[in-house]
Amino acid sequence: MRYDPSRPAGRLLLTPEDKEAPARARRLGQLGLGDLVDPALDAYADQLAELTGAPYAMVNFVDEQRQFFAGLHLPEVAPAVVVKADGSTPVLGRELARDHGFCPHVVVRRKALVLEDVCDYPRFAGNPVVDEFGIRSYLGAPLIDSTGMVLGTVCVVDVEPRPWGRPGLETIKSSAAELVARLERREADGLPVL
């Protein structure tokens, strides 16, 4: 943990240190990933949302400074979100700071993470996405390529607690393995990644 005095009330940032971030950024650059929206990855996120019944699904590549959702599924009608003091509501876009969300934890841990209700876990309940977007449940798995590099994650989130259980864990892990295989097949064939 580290202390950031610029955050309101000296909020503790609980995002783990990511020593592989520079190497990951280089690998993502080699693959042509990490900064371009890809319609095929959007379609993959759509399939993942349908498979899990989650309103949000992402293919997320994490570099040194940010998370980039190269694949993103948003609900047609967004669930109610928290209204800020100035009357605005946050909008989920293609980028998110590294200290927001749960994917950076998955990347550093190198294993899947199931949070059926993030509020049950003090470490995760204080994450900015809980307050800003109303996120209440998360299911994510790392995208680990054959070099052993964690490229990012596939994940689904909901604004309601979800009993993901073992079936959810198995689904997200197999989805991550399938996507890595597709990415590497394209690389081996010398084609654009997707």
CATH number of domain containing 49: 3.30.450.40
Within a domain: 83? yes
The Cα–Cα gap between 145 and 12 comes to 32
Residue 14 is predicted with a pLDDT of: 65
Domain count, the chain: 1
Mean pLDDT by 10 residues, the chain (194 residues): 40 73 92 88 96 96 92 77 53 81 95 96 88 91 96 96 96 97 83 54
Residue 2 lies in a domain: no
Is residue 8 one of the residues assigned to a domain?
no
Is 63 within a domain?
A: yes
Contact 130, 77 (CB under 8 A): no
What domain range is 178 assigned to?
A: 20-188
Output the pLDDT for position 159: 93
Q: Is residue 97 part of a domain?
A: yes
Paired tokens of 165: 């259980």
pLDDT value at residue 64: 87
Q: Give the residue among 104, 124, 111, 11 at the shortest CA–CA distance from 64.
A: 104
Is residue 168 domain-resident? yes
pLDDT score for 3: 34
